[in-house]
């Protein structure tokens, strides 16, 4: 059994890691940390996990890096941005494998990290070493690394929506605009003025309209595919759903293509991806986050607006699963040489 520790296991992404890994046949969760719930069973923070056999004896502890380092094989970090910087170097030094769900090791360029997060990255060498944890783009690198920077939910949806069009060079790469609608769980378990339920319910509110931090990841990954530097316009919107993210990427064609040709591009791109489903035709013409909730699936689709030569490309994900913890476990499986779908073969909930 692979011995796993989760640092920061009381938030939403930590809870999803516990939920998913509790049914993973090759994992033993040995440590779950939380200052607030120290000494208490994990279901104190996550009532949905009460009675789960693999978690019954697991209690929260403080973050003791020496204990984690001596007892673990793999460490998941589900902590706020900036916190992983304190832990990752020492954990790597003792030979552990790390999957970081924060943004601390997603970007390759230290200058980009400084630009978007406002601080000098103290370990630029580790930025070069880390692998961006999107299996659809970096499966082989994930297989051979010890440090994964797990993607953000908005960036996961944005990138997956655009890979087929950028890869097959059918759009104007200088004019890409992405709109993402995302549920309140993206803001985390601690309420703020914007995420507190009475303030959040019934909203359709743009935020970071001039450029959300996740755009840095989108530009980084799409530029690799394109073979040149791309800039992308990106605006997220807070909506009143709890889970789910829907990316709508607006692009303009530079080649004459019809719907069937576009469908072929999408299906060829994702034919071998276990968690990507191309949505086209009945019963749903376009992806909807409602039908991926609770799962690691990403539903991808498109609309061809012939009148103006525009393609709108869609990606629907559960922001806490494919957008966070499920994707982290998918990377874990690849990193450890396990079947990629292990512990993740969970159908979406319906109705949700």
pLDDT of residue 231: 97
In sequence order, the 6+-apart residues with CB closer than 8 A to the CB of 46 are 10, 15, 18, 19
Q: Domain 153-319 adopts which CATH fold? A: Dihydrodipicolinate Reductase; domain 2 (3.30.360)
Q: Which of 80, 75, 112, 118 is nearest to 95 (CA)?
A: 75
Class of domain 2-129 (CATH, top level): alpha beta
In sequence order, the 6+-apart residues with CB closer than 8 A to the CB of 132 are 106, 108, 138, 148, 149, 151, 217, 220, 221
Contact 156, 323 (CB under 8 A): yes
- CA torsion 156-184-188-27 (nearest 10°) is -60
Across the range 290-305, mean pLDDT stands at 98
Q: Which of 310, 194, 160 is nearest to 250 (CA)?
A: 310
On the question of pLDDT at 196 being above 80, the answer is no
On the question of pLDDT at 306 being above 80, the answer is yes
Q: What is the pLDDT of residues 76-134, one digit of tens each?
A: 999 999 999 999 999 999 999 999 999 999 999 999 999 999 999 999 999 999 999 99
Confidence class of residue 180 from pLDDT cuts 50, 70 and 90? very high
Taking each helix axis from N to C terminus, what angle separates 110-117 and 214-226, rounded to the nearest 10 degrees? 150
pLDDT of residue 197: 64
Q: What is the pLDDT of residues 230-245, one digit of tens each?
A: 999 999 998 988 899 9
pLDDT of residue 352: 81
> Is 153 an active-site residue?
yes
Preceding peptide of 351 cis, ω within 30°: yes
Across the range 20-42, mean pLDDT stands at 97
On the question of pLDDT at 209 being above 90, the answer is no
Phi first, then psi, for residue 73 (nearest 5°) are: -105, -40
Q: What is the pLDDT of residues 249-265, one digit of tens each?
A: 999 999 999 999 999 99
Domain ranges of the chain: 2-129, 153-319
Catalytic residue among 153, 247, 300, 311: 153
Rounded-to-integer distance, Cα 243 and Cα 224, Å = 30
- The pLDDT mean for the chain works out to 95
Rounded-to-integer distance, Cα 42 and Cα 56, Å = 8
Q: What is the pLDDT of residues 37-55, one digit of tens each?
A: 999 999 999 999 999 999 9
């Amino acid at each position: 059994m692979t011995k796993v520790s989760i640092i920061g296991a009381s938030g939403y992404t930590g809870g999803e890691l516990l939920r998913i890994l509790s049914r993973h046949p090759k994992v033993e969760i040995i440590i779950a940390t939380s200052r607030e719930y120290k000494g208490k069973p994990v279901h104190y923070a996550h009532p949905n996990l009460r009675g789960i056999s693999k978690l019954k004896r697991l209690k929260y502890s403080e973050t003791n890096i020496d204990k984690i380092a001596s007892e673990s094989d793999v460490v998941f970090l589900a902590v706020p941005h900036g916190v992983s910087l304190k832990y990752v170097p020492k954990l790597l030094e003792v030979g552990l494998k790390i999957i970081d769900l924060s943004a601390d090791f997603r970007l390759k360029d230290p200058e980009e990290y400084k630009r978007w997060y406002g601080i000098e990255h103290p370990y630029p060498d580790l930025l070069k070493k880390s692998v961006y944890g999107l299996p659809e783009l970096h499966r082989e690198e994930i297989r051979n690394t010890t440090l994964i920077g797990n993607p953000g939910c908005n960036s996961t949806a944005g990138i997956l929506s655009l890979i087929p069009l950028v890869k097959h060079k059918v759009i104007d790469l200088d004019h890409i605009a992405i709109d993402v609608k995302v549920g309140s769980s993206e803001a985390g378990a601690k309420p703020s003025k914007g995420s507190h339920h009475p303030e959040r319910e019934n909203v359709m509110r743009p935020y970071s309209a001039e450029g959300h931090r996740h755009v840095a990841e989108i530009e980084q990954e799409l530029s690799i595919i394109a073979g040149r530097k791309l800039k992308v316009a990106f605006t997220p919107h807070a909506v009143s759903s709890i889970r789910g993210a829907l990316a709508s990427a607006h692009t303009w064609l530079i080649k004459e293509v019809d719907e069937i040709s576009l469908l072929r591009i999408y299906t060829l791109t994702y034919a071998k991806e276990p968690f990507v489903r191309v949505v086209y035709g009945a019963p749903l013409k376009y992806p909807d986050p409602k039908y991926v909730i609770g799962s690691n699936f990403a539903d991808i689709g498109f609309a061809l607006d012939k009148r103006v030569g525009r393609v709108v490309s869609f990606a629907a994900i559960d922001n806490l699963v494919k957008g966070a913890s499920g994707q982290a476990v998918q990377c874990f499986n690849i990193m450890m040489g396990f079947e990629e779908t292990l512990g993740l073969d969970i159908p979406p909930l319906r109705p949700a």
